[in-house]
Each structure stands twice: as C-alpha cells, then as structure tokens.
Structure 1
C-alpha cells in the first residue's frame, strides 16, 4: 500500500517515518518547498530525539520521499493521512483552512477509491466536513472513506509513543475502513478502540483536557502548600500511589505549554459554547495555568524588592525538556513580565530559541548557563533539562551577585541547594 502523509510538521513527519519503518511506502506532502528540501537533505526542521536518524535510514532505503506536488502524490497513493496544522483562532476556535485545502485537493486529484485518515486534532464533526469538501471538489464521482485516527504523541518521546502506544483509536462508519486502518497498524501490540468518527474526535480532546486539568489541580494545590509550609511533592506522592489517581501529571510547576494542551482546551471550550454547554472545570483549569507562573514571580519580586535594575537569568525556554517547542511556554510569559518591570534578562536553553518578538527585545541570549548566571541577582529554572540538574551549582553561586534560585519545575533538591548557600524557592516546595 502506498501511503501519503499530508503535512510535514511534528505529527506528520513522525507519522510518515513510523509508517515507513513499519514497512509501507510513504510520501510526505507539504506546500512549503523549503521544508521539503530540508527533509530531502536528511534534516528535521524541529528537534525530536531519534527522528533524524530514522529519516536518513529511510531516505537511503528509498522507502520514503517528500514532495510539494499534491496532484501527483494523491494520484499515486492508496491511503492519505491528513496531518496538517489546526492552529487556534483568536476566539479559541480551530482554524480549519488547511484541513479544507487538503480535502479539496484530494477531491480534485483522486482518480479512484481513497482511504482518508484524519490524524490532525480537529473539532467534533470534522470527518463529515472533510467528506463534504472532498465530494464537492470532485470533477467526477469517486468512492472514498473518511476515518478519524487521532494521535497521542508526547513531544520528546514521539517514537516510543508511536511504536509502543497505549492505544490506537479508529473512528469510521464502515467496517471496510476500520479493517484498512487496522492493517496499517498490524505490527502494533496494543488495544484498538473502534468507534464512530465523532467519538474518536472527542476522545482526543477529552484526553488532553483531562491531563491538563490534572496538572492545573496539583499546581493550584501547590499554592496552598506554600502557605501551609507543606511539600507538594510529598502530597503528589501520597495521592499518586492511589491507582484511581495515578502518579503521572502530578508534578507541580509554572504551568503547561506546547501545541496541544492550551489549543485543545480552547477548542473544546469553544465547541461547548457553540453547543450551549459550559465546561466550568476546564475554564478554571485554563485560568490556573495562565496565571501559575505569577505565583513564583511574585515570590521573587518580594525577595528582590522588585526587578527594576536587577539581573535575572532564565534557564530553559522550551515548554518541556527534549524538545525545541516554545509554543505557549510559561517561560516566555515570565520573561515578558520581567522585561516589563525593567529587569536585565539573560536566557539560555540547550536547543530552543527565542521567538522573533522576544529576540528583538533588550535581553541577552547566552551560550551557556554559566554565562547567563554571571552577576545575576536571581536564576529562574523554567525547563527541567537534565543538564541543568548537573551544573556546577557551587560555581554558579560564586558567580552570582545574589544566590537566589527560583525553581519553576521543582527539579532541584531544596535541602542540597540551601546547604550550598542558595536561597531556594520552588512551587509548593522549599
């Protein structure tokens, strides 16, 4: 079976390479010529451990190719994965223009039966719109099926999540389409959830919304733990051992970020509004996350007597380690707040880069953590990179003007840092 993956962003590139590794002939399609050129040269335009090696392997074996020619690619394939972007609009709804564009391309160029599999995160009911867009663009009628197959990849561990998934969700109206999607994933040993397309679309939103709410719950609890002089990490361990709760996503910090949780909660809330429902719990979870970084920032402000004229080092830009993704990263909100209060800000991240708007601001991007901390009045830890845990912290303390460490990820041992002479403050942990 020849497979086309439309969209070569994070999800699309990962999907294409994983399918190629499963033994299928894969074509990656994207209108961005520069992105296609980069992939054909064996480079990934974003950071994800292991993907570049897999790309070079399959380019050498000729089991994957990339193109900007939609007409040719659609004619030569049997199944099409839609992995295009679905960015948020200002009101929180989902921008469907790219889904519609590729659907209409499929309608125009498919010359026979095609299995269309929507992997992009989309609002409930999108499968029906995709079918209508395909049908309305067809010069002459050709049969097709539209299935929903949402992704559950965690940035930083995409390959592990792809080859050892918790589940594969297939939403389709006909048994033939279900079996065709099953065949693509025949090498996987995991539960298959077979349901309707609408339910599959909702499962994706419900999953991410639940995880985001769990994070917001422990983050809000951490604020109270600070007031009560209780270690929130011990609370998380104590409740996480309950199998009904579980330990994952109970690490307090300055908030979640990335391309999924913020966007998907906003999309689900917008869907609720459009259907006359209110998801108050999710509204509160989103608000807790939006303001969580302020909890640590306020403590630093009191400790330093304000940020005016203070030198502050921010270690970590990415919203989580092992990725270069800075979308909705709380570190960026913190940096913007520091700049608005006239702090001298220095930043470092092993991989992630500042977004264009912040790169133009009067701050310093440093090549090493030590450079960022030189003469600093405070250091903020915003991403739990392993390298930060193993820094020469006594040396950093000696280089700082004031040894204030504000740990936004609770990644350091408070007692150890205090024994070195740091003033240490985490989130619900000191």
Structure 2
C-alpha cells in the first residue's frame, strides 16, 4: 500500500474522512478501517498489437467497502491512471452510493493506457484481457463495473461477453452501462443530466423560491450540461447562458436549448449561436443568474472568482468544480452549493435501475426507469436537506452530505459486527 499512502488524491480523501469523523465522533480505529480498501487487485494486461508485438499495461480494481452491498463503480482507460487514483475514487463511490441509499458499496477500476493510441481491435483485446484477469472478483452480487473515462457501452459489451465465456454464467447484471440490446436502458444516456436537473429543482424549491422562471447558467455543454439544461428548461427554468471549451453565450431573454445543441453539433461550438452576447468561460461563471451549474472541469470556481459569483444556488454537474477555498467563501456569502456527490449521482442511479432490471428479468420500461431515477434523486436531496437542517446547520452541504454517507456506512458495519 506504499503507493496509495504516499499519494495526493488518496490523502485528500482521507483528510476529508477524518474531518467528518471528528464531527461524527468516530474513534481512530473506525476511521482507520474506513480509510483502507478491503481489497485492491493489480493486474498485468498484455495484448498483441496490430504489428504483432506484445504491449503490456497495468490495471487495477479497488474494492473499498461492502458494508451496504456489492462493490459498484466504473472502469477507466487513461494514461494517468494510478493505484492511488483508483483507491481514492472507490472510496468516493462508497460515500456516493451510501448517500443515494443504493444497495452498494464502493468500487473503481482502471487501466493505465491511452486508448487513442490503440486500434479498435486492440481496445477489444484490452477489455477482454482485463476481465480475464479479474473475473474471479466480479459478479452481480459481488462487484459490478460500469463505464467511466474513455470506456463506453461497447467496452461493457466486450466485458460481459468475456465474463460469460469464462464463467459460463449468462448474468447480464454483472456490468451496467451496456448497449440496450444487452440489457442496457435507454435512460442511461441522459441519467446524469436528469439527476442534476432534478436536484436543482428540489434545491430551488427549498432555497430560492422554486425553479419556474429561475435564470440558469450551465458551464459545459457536453452530455451532462446539455441534458441538465434541457430538463431544467422543460421544468420552467430560463436558460440564460451556456458554454463549452471555446467560450459561451448569454441572453437575458433566454436561450433555445435545442437550437443551441443544433448549432454546437453543426459548427463545433455554442459560441456560434446567432443571438445573445459572446463571453469567455470566466465571464460566464460570474454572470447574473439564480442557478449556476458547472458541468465541465474541476476547480473552475476558486478563491479568485468565488467572491464575484452572482448565483444564489450552485449545483455541481462536474466532479470537483469548486476548490475548498471557494466552498468556504461561498458558504460565508450565503450561496448554497449542492455537492457533486449528490448532484451528479444520476449516472450511478441509472446503473442501479439497469442492474435491478437485469436481476428481475427486464420488466422495467424507459418511462418507469426515468421515474425511478427522479424519485431516487429527489428523495436523496430531501434526506440530505433534513439531515443538514437538524444536525449540521452550521456546516455546508458538502460536509453534511459526506457525514450522512459515512454515518450510514458505519451504522451498517456496526450492525454486521464489522467494527
């Protein structure tokens, strides 16, 4: 575990855990148990390249905690993947699944590879070899991987096919985020954006008088940003600003979300939208609005621009869009921040619905799946709101969310006699 203990992402997560542990009154022995994964599997993945030469890659699967159920979390293919990152992300998945009251623990996987440097055939080999190395530790009641960075439904299809070939078990629930033909669900495409919009609506009702007519800015117009904007527009909000990596556009009279999407698809950027004022991403973040949804990169709101943010409510569509400094500044200014651990959890809720549907024999249709995601996200927000109001009113919602999640895991571990 030396690699894990020396690294920054893991260290950050442990610091957060110990901070919350102090608030909850947890002893050092319990915190030590929670800070360490139950199992980390390191594998060597070898493939034969199109030139006939062997290519070797390192991969990992971290199974952090199973007190609440089987491990659940994505698998990423990225050149910067480390054991540290995978362990830290598996810990985050434990808290996210707990907060959403899903019957899962936390898991995460990755292979240190740049998939863009491989042919499609080589990516398929890599996917199958990863499962060959790990299949003993996977299963629909043991560990359920899903797509993550640079992996998609096709990779999950290869994972599933290889798992069935090796084990002889035709169990489609072992992986989620699969193609619809293999037990995937259509709503998985937009489940994260739907979750962001649902939580934004719930939070707007509690903190700013409702979502109808609320002015919304969405920073980042990829899958999550587009669907968040689309669903919020359907709910009666006014989308007044959007951006992508090339810049943004603002219109006080409101933007036509579908027209913005068409312009982006056709020209490559939302900046070519014919109406409104063109702005940079930096300007967009501090423009007038009621709800701000950062749905692109991490650390875009920091100690320099947090004092200038005009939104009353921030809903984190991206992972880690606010720095710790920004959190303190905004909380001090009375700006409510709905943390990523809740706000962008629609994806894992979509995975849960897919897994449950596979286990039950494909009995849920898309309308029912969508309703299940909305209900689960709404209920998770309400639970957090009540917990915050009753027990942690002097702390920000991010701290309250992690405290609630950790508290549930600890309670489950105590009930099982694990601590």
TM-score by length of 1: 0.28
Q: Tell me which of the two structures has the higher relative contact order, counting C-alpha pairs closer than 8 angstroms and 6 or more residues apart.
A: 2
Q: Which has the larger radius of gyration?
A: 1
Which of the pair is proportionally richer in helix? 2
TM-score by length of 2: 0.29
